[in-house]
Amino acid sequence: MSFDVHQLDTFVLVGSAVTLLAILAVRVSSRAGLPSLLIYLLMGVALGESGAGIQFENAEVAHSLGFAALAVILAEGGLTTSWREIRPVARMGLSLATIGVAVSVAVVAVGAHYVLGLPWQLAVLLGAVTSPTDAAAVFSVLRVVPLPRRLTGTLEAESGLNDAPTVVLVTLVSSGAAQEHGVLAVLGIVGYELVVGTGFGLAAGFGGAWVMRRAALPSSGLYPLAVLTLAFLAYGAAAFVHGSGFAAVYVAALVLGNTELPHRTATRSFAEGVAWLAQIGLFVMLGLLLSPGRITLDSVGLAVAAGLILTLAARPLSVLVSAVVQPMSRRELGFISWAGLRGAVPIVLTTIPLAEGVDGAARLFDIVFVMVVIYTLLTGPTLPAAARLLKVARRSEPRGLDVEAAPLERIAADLLQVTISPVSQMHGVEVGELRLPRGSSVAMVIREGETIVPERRTVLRHGDDLLVVAPRKLREQTEERLRQVSEHGRLAQWLGTRRR
């Protein structure tokens, strides 16, 4: 096979230009309240056969690259999700990811077969690929909508967990195994893969955290690489024994992201950057895979009708049934029903029947592609208004701190770098009023580029960076105390134990 340097140069030029434009497009999509995927998908279409003329029709390559990108996105989601926020609603999130998906698949499949006239295999596939919410869309949109932790935790847990059972179901239906083995066998296979994947994720998460806490790596840049590698190790190990790699990578990343590890903030920032790159590549590739010439009025009509069934019937019913395990208010359930964001996941899942050569798979891909674009345009921008209408919007943004940690191995302590944000209530508080756990102390204050050795009466200001030394066994208590003061100011002594 010949190696053409000129082609490589062209690829680097086009790839870097597209990536830069995609990064700049994030600002536009954020202002509009839209997931960036829409812009990336359209960029892929513009580069494809009907635009710049790039030919890409390999469904198997798209399937493999799509799964790899989803693994990266789920890893970033797990690393940046707070277990403290999702723990109170973990039952609801898990219920939505399992029971809710099953209900949604059934409702959409029945509607697609009897109302839209699709054969049973395509009807079930349509229900399966459109039932899971998209982690990238949820993580990018909901984190800028002022919602209480109860809702954001539920939606993030659902989006992180529901890919795993859906991938198994779509694979079984596409290969014909579901028809051969029956419903009970399918449920057993799904359950087995979830349990195995979760087990490998927990093992990689806790085992990796134990190793990372004791490994003083020579460069801070190695910590983010090691953490992501541990998450992907969980994916590969679970998939090797026919478990769910997606469940494994998310659980492992969730454990690692909520463990006391060195350079946590840097790790999360690195993972976020890698996830953005994965999203850009994934969505542009899916846009390339689309042939606009195949899109007909019939496909658009079916997409709109299927979206109505999903949005107005399947999603609300699945949320209502899932709430049996953890009751929530009608307003909260209403918002969760409307916030079932679909993104790249449904389109990626349609590459499975494409790769398997299922009859009508190309038509299914076109329907799902159009459906995702239309209903993302409908749902994304309206989420803030829906939150206000249902009175579930939070009145103010959280007053959190950015905390970075570096290990001080010789004295079994951590050096915390704390940045006081512009909205933090720590402004005006004296160092002595922080009342840190005994053994922790503020070693230095950096203000406008100048260093200050603090005294008890030193007053903290917005924009200050604090260097706090904390014994490793007291690190979590120290961080919690700092966050309480940041949220409540001097009243943290009385209000610090009250959680929202």
Q: What is the pLDDT of residues 268-283, one digit of tens each?
A: 888 888 888 888 888 8
Fold of 402-495: Alpha-Beta Plaits (3.30.70)
In the prediction, which pLDDT does 6 show?
Answer: 64
- 140-192 per-position pLDDT tens digit: 666 666 777 788 888 888 888 888 888 888 888 888 777 777 777 888 888 88
Average pLDDT across the chain, whole number: 82
The predicted model gives 15-32 an average pLDDT of: 69
CA-closest candidate to residue 74, choices 248, 218, 211: 248
Confidence of residue 496 (pLDDT cuts 50, 70, 90): very low
- 42-53 per-position pLDDT tens digit: 778 777 776 676
pLDDT at 448 over 90: no
- 299-337 per-position pLDDT tens digit: 889 999 999 999 999 999 999 999 999 888 899 999 999
In the prediction, which pLDDT does 32 show?
Answer: 53
Do the Cβ atoms of 46 and 18 come closer than 8 Å? no
pLDDT at 499 over 50: no
- 78-110 per-position pLDDT tens digit: 888 878 778 888 899 889 988 999 999 999 999
pLDDT at 1 over 50: no
Domain coordinates in residue numbering, the chain: 5-209+229-259+271-389, 402-495
Architecture of the domain spanning 5-209+229-259+271-389: Up-down Bundle (1.20)
Q: What angle do CA 21, 24, 28 make, to 5 degrees?
A: 120
β-pair type (450-452, 402-408)? unpaired
Task: State the first-to-last Cα distance of the chain, in angstroms, to the nearest integer.
Answer: 61
Distance between CA atoms of 111 and 106, rounded to whole angstroms? 9
User: How would you label 337-368 residue by residue, b for 16+ Cβ within 10 Å and e otherwise?
Assistant: bbbbbbbbbbbbbbbbbbbbebeebbbbbbbb
pLDDT at 284 over 70: yes
In the prediction, which pLDDT does 261 show?
Answer: 78
Share of the chain above pLDDT 70, in %: 87
Share of the chain above pLDDT 90, in %: 21
Cross-strand bridge partners of residue 470:
414
The predicted model gives 444-471 an average pLDDT of: 89
Q: From residue 374, give the alpha-carbon distance in Å to each of 139, 163, 301.
A: 20, 21, 11
pLDDT at 397 over 50: no
Query: For 224, which DSSP code?
Result: H
242: left (phi over 0), alpha (psi -120 to 50) or beta: left
Work out the number of other CB atoms within 10 angstroms of the CB of residue 480: 12
